[in-house]
Amino acid sequence: MTQKAPVTLSTVEQPLLEKPHIANHYIRACIGGALRLGHNSDELLDAAQIPLHWIDRPERLITEQQTTRLVKTVWRATDDEFMGLAPEPCASGIFALMCEFCLHSETLGAMLKQSARFYRTVYNGLDIEFVEGCEEAKQQVFFRLHLHDGRYDSDHLLQEFLLLMWQRFNCWLVDQQIPFLTSQFSYPEPSHVEEYRAMFPGELSFDQATSGFSLHAKYLHLPIVRTETELQCFLQEAPAFILHRPSQDESLRAKIRQMLSRYDYADMPSLDQISQQLHMTPRSIGRKLKDEGTAFSKIRESLRREYAIKLLTTEHLSIADVSERTGFSETAAFCRAFKRWTGRPPSAWRQGRGSL
């Protein structure tokens, strides 16, 4: 099959924000490990183009470009992808090797399992494992990503960065914003918790036994759509994409999409149930959605359509499998719906895509 052309600005890729909006806390947090190893703060900040007198000045916010330069500077100075914040260094290039190792996974679920296996093999300082849902939460899966020894990560920067790196990389691989259900941390709520609310989607949970994040099991079936060429571009820009905060869509449509994304496609809540969660009347929701150019039924249907199209790019899934995973009780009903969405039945759509 012909590889697609590299995507410059996709669903999950946007330019770095030039406006300063990142807390000053991250200046000292980024260089803490390097200082412990004997590096000079003035040299590090000068290389990152951050004025030296900005340290510990809460009113001096920094930009995504400055943060990216500072992280790269510390990486180079320490020759450690963990920035001197763990007892044992993580050699430069390990993350890139993991990406290359996992790129050929067929689905997001396979990639998560492979990435955990990779890091367990090459680095002993991480407790990393893909955990299937228990009976009480069988529709959820948990990805444990926890530092064994966080004594040098007093500001929790490395733990934050690891979770953020996996979440953003997952979204990039499937070219879709995944609505992670929870991000949990093995330490108390930090003073800069507002930064967490901007970085991590879904519920935040502190003082937990381990760190990690959870997502709905249906997203494990999403196919990996990136190419080797795109991966090289991604790695060259790292950590810019990981540090970038996607713009927030404050519309009611976006809020309802986020809420519906937490459920199985065969078990999505009704408008009445959503209205109770939002403390709005169904009529008010309908009126506001109409003003935004959509409707509740259209939002539900668009989620199923987008998911079905993603799954059809996985050649090893039958149309019957895609039908079942998108919540249809009969394959014929799915085929009729898909033709209504795209103008072609799923088999013809798949053949047409393969010939591109």
Percent over 90 (pLDDT), the chain: 57
- Angle, helices 296-312 vs 331-342, to 10°: value is 100
Please report which helix (H) or strand (E) contains residue 77, including its range: helix 64-78
- The residues facing 182 across adjacent strands are 203, 214
| Residue 323 burial (CB count, 10 A) | 23
pLDDT in tens, 306-319: 888 888 877 688 99
Q: Among 314, 11, 9, which residue's Cα sits nearest to residue 176?
A: 11
Q: Which of 166, 225, 160 is nearest to 29 (CA)?
A: 160
* 289 residue type, one letter: L
**Residue 215 zone, left/alpha/beta (φ > 0; ψ -120 to 50; rest):** beta
Burial class (CB in 10 A: 0-12, 13-18, 19+), 278: middle
pLDDT at 26: 94
Q: Is 76 helix (H, G, I), strand (E, B) or coil?
A: helix
In this prediction, residue 303 carries a pLDDT of 87
Q: 3-class SS at 125?
A: coil
The strand ranges marked E within the chain are: 126-131, 140-147, 182-184, 203-205, 212-216
How would residue 8 be classed by pLDDT, with cut points 50, 70 and 90?
A: very low
- pLDDT category of residue 5 using cuts at 50, 70 and 90: very low
Q: Which tens digit of pLDDT belongs to each residue from 211-269?
A: 999 999 989 999 999 999 999 999 988 888 888 776 666 788 888 988 888 888 888 89
Q: Give me the percent of the chain exceeding a pLDDT of 70.
A: 91
Of the chain, the end-to-end C-alpha distance in Å amounts to 8
Amino acid identity, position 104 = H
pLDDT at 350: 83
**How many residues would you count in the chain?**
356
Residue 140, SS3 per DSSP: strand
Q: Going by C-beta distance under 8 Å and a sequence separation of 6 or more, which residues neighbour residue 236?
A: none
Q: Please tell me the distance from the alpha carbon of residue 285 to that of residue 296, in angstroms, as a whole number.
A: 8
DSSP of 249-312, one letter per residue?
--SHHHHHHHHHTTS-GGGPPPHHHHHHHHT--HHHHHHHHHHTT--HHHHHHHHHHHHHHHHH
When pLDDT is averaged across residues 158-185 and rounded to a whole number, the result is: 93
Lowest mean pLDDT among 34-38, 73-77, 79-83, 233-237: 233-237
User: Which of 19-33, 86-100, 124-138 is predicted with the least confidence, judged by mean pLDDT?
Assistant: 124-138
Query: What's the CA gap between 204 and 197, in Å, rounded?
Result: 8
Burial readout 252-271 (b: 16 or more C-beta within 10 A, e: otherwise): bbeebbebbbbbebeebbeb
Query: Cα–Cα distance between 96 and 345 in angstroms, integer?
Result: 39
Nearest one of 114, 344, 341, 76 to 224, comparing CA atoms: 114
pLDDT tier, 142 (very low <50, low <70, confident <90, very high otherwise): very high
Count of beta carbons in the 10 Å neighbourhood of residue 315: 10
Judge whether 88 and 58 are in contact, CB under 8 Å: no
